[in-house]
């Protein structure tokens, strides 16, 4: 489902800088401690730290040039968990498609990656209420030679479409007529961009926010972002609602998190946290944009 500030053409040195961040969370959480402390929330409060999984995808959750964990979700997590008495947020980098598995395996306690809430995912994890609602778009060569404005256009043109592994855009594309063989998956935004630049795909499908961020890192390159839109699948308009994901057994943690998130929304404190990453008032959730709504599909 994705706009802040990292250089997509990472050097080996930068990748190396991110290793300690990921390594910090490679071990699983201690179930004995959780049992003794009454659960993940109690354990995190006692230790003063919590681990979050992220996919190194700007603007949602990524490491900057210094190796610092940032992005709209980690920065929001830092604010909320601090108010819950948990001062340290540690990042565990995982490929997007492995985030839910990593959460369930207790490699980390929360997914902080701007993950879209979908009915399928709701069967595996418990989502917080959304922190943003975003629309889809395409990154295409300037002039949009294949005239791709929606997934149906890509299908009609026989376009090769780049999507991220495990992201909803691949599902949208297939359901709206794009041939499976024309849907090319990439592990992250930088590799998707390189795929487009090399001509391996004709367009990249992501949220408008994500694509604007990619383009901002490659000023002067011959690409453009199309107008944002909401795909219509099976007669239903698909909004990309991004949220945090928790293990289903961590009801106390989820409830506490949602309570603080609600306070930020009603106090008009949410947008200032997300705004540095390209989010605007247009992406702010409405009063009825709750997790249950998007879990229903």
Predicted confidence at residue 278, as pLDDT, reads 87
In a domain, 182, yes or no: yes
- Whether 113 and 194 map to the same domain: the answer is no
Chosen domain end from 214, 237, 260: 237
CATH code of 185's domain: 3.40.190.10
Distance CA 150, CA 227 (A): 9
- pLDDT, one tens digit per residue, over 161-175 is 999 998 889 999 999
- pLDDT, one tens digit per residue, over 99-131 is 999 999 999 999 999 999 999 999 999 999 999
Tokens of 18: 């991110």
Q: Which of 67-71, 114-118, 182-186 has the lowest mean pLDDT?
A: 114-118
In a domain, 35, yes or no: yes
- pLDDT, one tens digit per residue, over 256-270 is 999 999 999 999 999
Asked if 233 and 172 touch (Cβ cutoff 8 Å), the reply is: yes
- Whether 31 and 154 map to the same domain: the answer is no
| Statement: residue 288 has pLDDT above 70 | yes
Query: Whose CA is closest to 135, among 227, 72, 69?
Result: 227
- Whether 178 and 255 map to the same domain: the answer is no
Residues 6+ apart with CB under 8 A from 113: 53, 54, 55, 57, 60, 61, 73, 96, 99
Name the β-bridge partners of 246.
110, 126
Burial 108-137 (b: 16+ CB within 10 A, else e): bbbbbbbbbbbeebbeebbbbbbbbbbbbb
Measured CA distances, 216 to 58, 211, 222 (Å): 11, 9, 12
Number of domains in the chain: 2
In a domain, 3, yes or no: no
In a domain, 5, yes or no: no
Chosen domain end from 191, 220, 237: 237
- Whether 171 and 219 map to the same domain: the answer is yes
Q: Which domain holds residue 224?
A: 136-237
Tokens of 198: 């090399």
Instruction: For 147, list phi and psi in degrees, rounded to 5.
Output: 55, 50
Burial 76-86 (b: 16+ CB within 10 A, else e): bbbbbbeebeb
Predicted confidence at residue 15, as pLDDT, reads 31
DSSP-derived pairing of the beta strands 88-93 and 223-225: unpaired
| Burial (CB count within 10 angstroms: exposed 0-12, middle 13-18, buried 19+), residue 235 | exposed
- Whether 144 and 282 map to the same domain: the answer is no
Distance CA 168, CA 186 (A): 13
User: Mean per-residue pLDDT for 278-282?
Assistant: 86
In a domain, 2, yes or no: no
Enter the pTM of the model: 0.71
Tokens of 171: 């599902």
- Whether 103 and 175 map to the same domain: the answer is no
């Amino acid at each position: 489902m994705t706009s802040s500030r990292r250089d997509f053409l990472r050097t080996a040195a930068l990748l190396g800088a991110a290793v300690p961040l990921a390594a910090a969370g490679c071990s699983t959480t201690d179930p004995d401690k959780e049992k003794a402390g009454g659960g993940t929330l109690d354990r995190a409060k006692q230790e003063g730290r919590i681990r979050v999984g992220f996919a190194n995808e700007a603007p949602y959750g990524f490491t900057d040039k210094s190796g610092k964990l940032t992005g709209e979700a980690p920065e929001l997590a830092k604010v909320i968990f601090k108010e819950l008495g948990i001062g340290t947020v540690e990042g565990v980098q995982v490929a997007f498609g492995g985030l839910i598995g990593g959460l369930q395996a207790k490699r980390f306690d929360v997914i902080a990656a701007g993950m879209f809430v979908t009915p399928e995912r709701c069967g595996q994890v418990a989502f917080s209420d959304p922190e943003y609602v975003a629309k889809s778009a395409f990154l295409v060569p300037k002039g949009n030679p294949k005239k791709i404005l929606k997934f149906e256009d890509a299908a009609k043109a026989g376009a090769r479409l780049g999507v991220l592994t495990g992201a909803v855009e691949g599902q949208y594309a297939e359901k709206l007529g794009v041939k499976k063989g024309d849907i090319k998956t990439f592990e992250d935004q930088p590799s998707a961009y390189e795929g487009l630049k090399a001509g391996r795909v004709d367009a990249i499908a992501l949220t408008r926010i994500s694509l604007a961020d990619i383009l901002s890192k490659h000023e002067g390159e011959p690409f453009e972002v199309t107008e944002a839109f909401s795909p219509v699948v099976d007669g239903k308009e698909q909004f990309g609602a991004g949220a945090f994901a928790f293990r289903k057994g961590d009801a106390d943690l989820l409830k506490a998190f949602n309570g603080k998130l609600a306070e930020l929304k009603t106090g008009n404190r949410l947008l200032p946290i997300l705004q540095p990453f390209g989010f605007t008032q247009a992406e702010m959730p409405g009063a009825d944009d709750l997790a249950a709504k998007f879990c229903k599909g």
